[in-house]
Chain A
Amino acid sequence: MKLKLATLALGAVMAAAPAMADLVFPSLSYRTGPYAPGGIPFADGYADYFTLINERDGGIGGEKIQMPECETAYNTEKGVECYESTKGLGSLVYQPLSTGITYQLIPKVTADGIPMLTSGLGRTSAKNGTVFPWVFNFPANYWDGASVAIKHILDEQGGDISGTKITLLYHNSAYGKEPIRTLEQLSEKHGFELSLIPVDSPGQEQKSQWLQIRRERPDYVIMWGWGVMNQVAIQEASNIRFPMDKFIGIWWSGSENDVVPVGDGAHGYKALTFHNMGDDYPLYDDLKTYVFDKGLAAGAGDQHGSAVYNRGLYGAMLVVEAAKVAQEIHGTSKITPEMMRDGLESLEITEETMTALGLPKFGPEFSVTCENHGGNGYAAIAQWDAKAGEWNLITDYVQSDQEIIQPLIEADSMAYAEESGIEPGCN
């Protein structure tokens, strides 16, 4: 009896595990818990893109994709457990949608030799590929976001923001504090007055912060929020009649979830983004034919076209393109994590590439090198139209202030290299 049970259990495990020849892209998702409204659309978009590649193209270079999904509930410990339980499946790259999990995984992926892509999140200085050879954060990072927000304000103010009062309202965590140093440097350069207002997690009660904003009357508020903090902040801004077009959130404060609960009050609110919005792209026609209409859509299939769903699609597209490059470089379709890293390090995304993929004008052009794992630092500003219920890009993709960002990245990454005993370099 025990033998039968053991055989059955082994059979079940083997059935659930990807075949060794498949290309494995694990998804550390969070579909439960307080942050599920952000995790679900990303996980759905990520999964749907891989399904499309399997159904339409027969995989990448003839190799089918497997995407084992592991629930982290946005919990760092669970995220690490998910990594440990999936890395042995031949995982090619991880994209944990969490800065906390990213920080824990940096030493692990480095030791295990598995690449990690953290677009728009995680450790910003991982852009320095000579110090973080296994970590990538293209096409943009937090410091790029902060700089592009200031560039947008500069544009609106005719190029002079000396004396302009800008408040950073931030999640009181490592994530929320990420842009502070960049904004301080930019404040010195452009002469604007920067004030910092932290909000303790989760951020359901922000009366004190918004009374302070009402008293100090800043010209602009930049927000680094996540989860319920976003909805409450936008609601409170609406309550005190703060002009929404002077309120700019980072991309993690720029989804439909953040503005829809506020209704018309959120009209005009702005958010940074490193990809376009909506579903008016040829790729969506393919998704409809090969995924949605076949009943293969991930989750409930109700997230299509939302901001974070598009981010999931984009994330999957980037690693699929990198896998193609890796196959080309090494002349084999059966790539290893190390080959995948080579693919990521040689990735070049142009408008021609995006158009060919059915995503014209969807994201910025960028290229990755051994030294530069973060791309070229382009981001755009989207604005919420509450009446139409949609985000619209109101600027082109703008490059961040490299004069400020590069030295910061250099300093931070070198400090990490020193404390971790890493000899920077390309191999």
Chain B
Amino acid sequence: MPDQLIFAIEVFLNGLMAGVLYALVALGFVLIYKASGIFNYAQGVLALFAALTLVGIMEGQVPFSHLINAVFGTEIHNFGFHVPALLAIALTMVVMVVLAWLVNTLIFRHLVNQEPIILFMATIGLAYFLEGFGDIMWGADIKKLDVGLPQGINGFIDQITLDALGYGFFIDNLDLVATAVAALLVTALVIFAQYTRQGRAMRAVADDHQAALSVGISLNFIWVMVWSLAGFVALVAGIMWGTKSGVQFSLSLIALKALPVLMLGGFTSIPGAIVGGLIIGVGEKMFEFLIGPLVGGATENWFAYVLALLFLVFRPQGLFGEKIIERV
């Protein structure tokens, strides 16, 4: 097999893996948009906040310690204990549920029936607030996140491809874990939406919240639940991305990677987020591999959007989005 073809296959596989990581971020957007029609600009910051909280709990860090020390002249930073990863994840999830309740109670409950642009602007405000709040709560330094996920080249794949093709493929163990987690997450979310009472209620609210209200569904409960689910997805995305780069404020920028995925997959489809992620991941990596060297490289950021726009020309609602026809 020619070298270039072997390299292309390796790039293709890595594109798929990168796409899964993009899809993990996009899923959070889809969940909230589907249930409440809100484009949640704060989803990236939610992932950052979740990851910061997770590291803080694992390390036994005292929240707001900088503030406490500045006000009271104390020198406290740590509780002096470490929390096991699984327990810390569970505790972080509790924090995310509380956050979901606060977001709904303090912001979105008061904005029912407002224009989508108002809701969108509210999420922009939420993003800035959470970024600053996370900074004050946990500090701005870069934190190492280690929940025990494997990282680095997968030796097995490296060896078998080396034996078969004469060139060992690089596949990151963390990407393999992310793929498995994403598959589990999507399956669980689809089962939840299709087969559980709360899931069906969520879909009813998504279809018509006034009709759902008239049959006794609590909008507040559903919205808190959806924001909690989005918080959980954000936590998963935060763990994967935070393990790669350390937990830091740039983590909130991963939202930029989700936007073309949403444009391509549609804002309302969970499988769309996955398929969109895979197409964007493979598309941008293959373009960088094939065309990048001819144009000086660094094509991925812009090409992802070009690819999404190309799809939009033919399917404005995205691959899996709902086609909305309004007759006047």
Beyond the given A228-B248, A260-B246, A263-B146, please list 17 additional residue pairs across the A-B interface where CB-CB is below 8 A: A32-B140, A37-B142, A204-B244, A204-B251, A207-B18, A211-B14, A228-B246, A228-B250, A228-B253, A231-B142, A231-B246, A238-B152, A239-B170, A241-B152, A257-B246, A265-B152, A300-B66
Q: Indicate if B60 sits at the interface (CB-CB under 8 A).
A: no
The answer to whether A197 touches B297 (Cβ under 8 A) is yes
Sort chain A's interface into a size bin: 35 or more
Whether A257 contacts B141 in the complex (CB less than 8 A), given A204-B241, A207-B14, comes out as yes
C-beta contact mask, A68-102 vs B, less than 8 Å → 1, else 0?
A: 00000000000000000000000000000000000
- CB of B300 within 8 A of CB of A200, answer yes
Assess whether A257 is in contact with B253, with CB atoms less than 8 Å apart: no
For residue B292, CB closer than 8 A to chain A, the reply is yes
Closest Cβ neighbor of A210 among chain B residues:
B170
Does A158 sit at the interface, judged by CB under 8 A? Answer: no
Cα-based distance from A351 to B152 in the complex (angstroms)? 45
**Chain A 184-221 near chain B by CB (<8 Å), digits 1 or 0:** 00000000000011111010110111110011000000
Within the assembled complex, what's the spacing in Å between the Cα atoms of A348 and B292? 47
Q: Which residues of A contact B296 (CB under 8 A)?
A: 196, 198
- Which of A200, A239, A302 interacts with B152 by CB under 8 Å? A239
Q: Which residue of A lies closest to B140 (CB)?
A: A36
Chain B contacts of A207 at CB under 8 A?
14, 17-18, 172, 285
Residues of A within 8 A of B135 (CB): 32, 36
Known: A200-B300, A205-B18. Is A37-B140 also a contact (CB below 8 A)? yes
Q: What is the CA–CA distance of A33 and B152 in the complex, to the nearest angstrom?
A: 29
Task: Name the residue of chain B whose CB is nearest to the CB of A41.
Answer: B141
List chain A residues, Cβ under 8 A from B84. none
User: Does B249 make an interface contact (CB < 8 A)?
Assistant: yes
| Interface size band for B | 35 or more
Instruction: Using A215-B7, A295-B73 as known contacts, say yes or no to A232 and B140 having CB atoms under 8 A apart.
Output: no
| Chain A residues within an 8 Å CB radius of B141 | 37, 40, 257, 302
Q: How far is B252's CA from A229's CA once the two chains are assembled, in angstroms?
A: 14
Separation in Å of the A78 CB from the closest CB of chain B?
14
User: Is residue A282 contacting chain B, with contact meaning CB distance below 8 A?
Assistant: no
Which of B21, B143, B285, B300 is A261 in contact with, Cβ under 8 Å? B143
A contact residues around B77 at 8 Å (CB): 302
Provide the bound-state CA to CA distance between A210 and B170, in Å. 10
Contact, CB under 8 Å: B11 / A208: yes
Complex: A211 Cα to B17 Cα, angstroms: 13
A205–B300 touching, CB < 8 Å: yes
Q: Distance in Å from the Cβ of B189 to the closest Cβ of chain A?
A: 24
Residue B1 at the chain A interface, CB threshold 8 Å:
no
- Contact status of A200 and B170, CB under 8 A, knowing A36-B135, A211-B11, A227-B250: no
From A40, A232, A302, B245 is in contact (CB under 8 Å) with A232
CA distance A239 to B14 in the complex (A): 13
A204 and B253 in contact (CB under 8 A), knowing A198-B296, A261-B144?
yes
Minimum C-beta distance from A45 to chain B (A)? 15
Taken together as a complex, chains A and B put the C-alpha atoms of A295 and B153 apart, in Å, by: 47
Q: Taking CB as reference atom, which chain B residue is nearest A209?
A: B297
Q: Are B142 and A34 in contact (CB under 8 A)?
A: no
Say if the beta carbon of A235 comes within 8 Å of chain B: yes
Q: Is A127 an interface residue (CB 8 A)?
A: no
Q: Does B218 contact A (CB under 8 A)?
A: no
A172 located at the interface, meaning its Cβ lies under 8 Å from any Cβ of chain B in the complex: yes
CB neighbours of A304 from chain B (8 A): none
* Complex-state Cα separation, A241 to B172, whole angstroms: 12
Chain A residues at the B interface, C-beta cutoff of 8 Å:
31-34, 36-37, 40, 172, 196-200, 202, 204-205, 207-211, 214-215, 227-228, 231-232, 235, 238-241, 257, 260-263, 265, 295, 300, 302
Tell whether B301 is near chain A: CB-to-CB under 8 Å.
yes
Question: In whole angstroms, what is the CA distance A209 to B292 when docked?
Answer: 10
Does B153 contact A241, Cβ atoms closer than 8 Å? yes
Residue on A nearest B299 in the bound complex, by CB: A200
Chain A residues, CB < 8 A from B246: 228, 231, 257, 260-262
Asked if B11 and A34 make an inter-chain contact with CB atoms under 8 angstroms apart, the answer reads no
Q: Any chain A CB within 8 A of the CB of B132?
A: yes
Q: How far is the CB of B170 from chain A (nearest CB, A)?
A: 6
Residues of A within 8 A of B284 (CB): 208
Docked CA distance A232–B297 (Å): 18
Chain B residues within an 8 Å CB radius of A200: 298, 300-301
Q: How far is the CA of A324 from the CA of B327 in the complex (A)?
A: 78
Residues of the A chain whose Cβ atoms lie less than 8 Å from the Cβ of B10: 211
Q: Mark B245-261, 1 if CB is under 8 A from A, else 0.
A: 11011111110010000
Chain B residues with CB under 8 A of A241: 152-153
Q: Is the CB of A204 within 8 A of B14?
A: no
B139 within 8 A of A: yes
Residue of A nearest to B254 (CB): A204
Report Cα–Cα, A379/B288, bound state, in Å. 35
Q: Is the CB of A240 within 8 A of B153?
A: yes
**Proximity bits, B234-250, A CB within 8 Å = 1, else 0:** 00000001001110111
The docked-state distance in angstroms from the alpha carbon of A64 to that of B257 is 49
15 A/B residue pairs, CB under 8 Å, sorted by A: A32-B135, A34-B249, A34-B250, A34-B253, A37-B249, A198-B296, A199-B298, A207-B14, A231-B246, A239-B151, A239-B152, A257-B248, A260-B144, A260-B246, A261-B143
A40 to B249, CA, bound (A): 13
Q: B292 near A228 (CB under 8 angstroms)? A: no
**Chain A hits for B298, CB < 8 A:** 172, 198-200
The CA-CA distance from A227 to B152 in the complex, in Å, is 22
- B152–A202 contact, CB under 8 A? no
Using known A-B contacts A211-B14, A232-B245, A238-B152, determine if residue A257 contacts B142 with beta carbons closer than 8 Å.
yes
**Min distance, Cβ A131 to any Cβ of chain B, angstroms:** 30
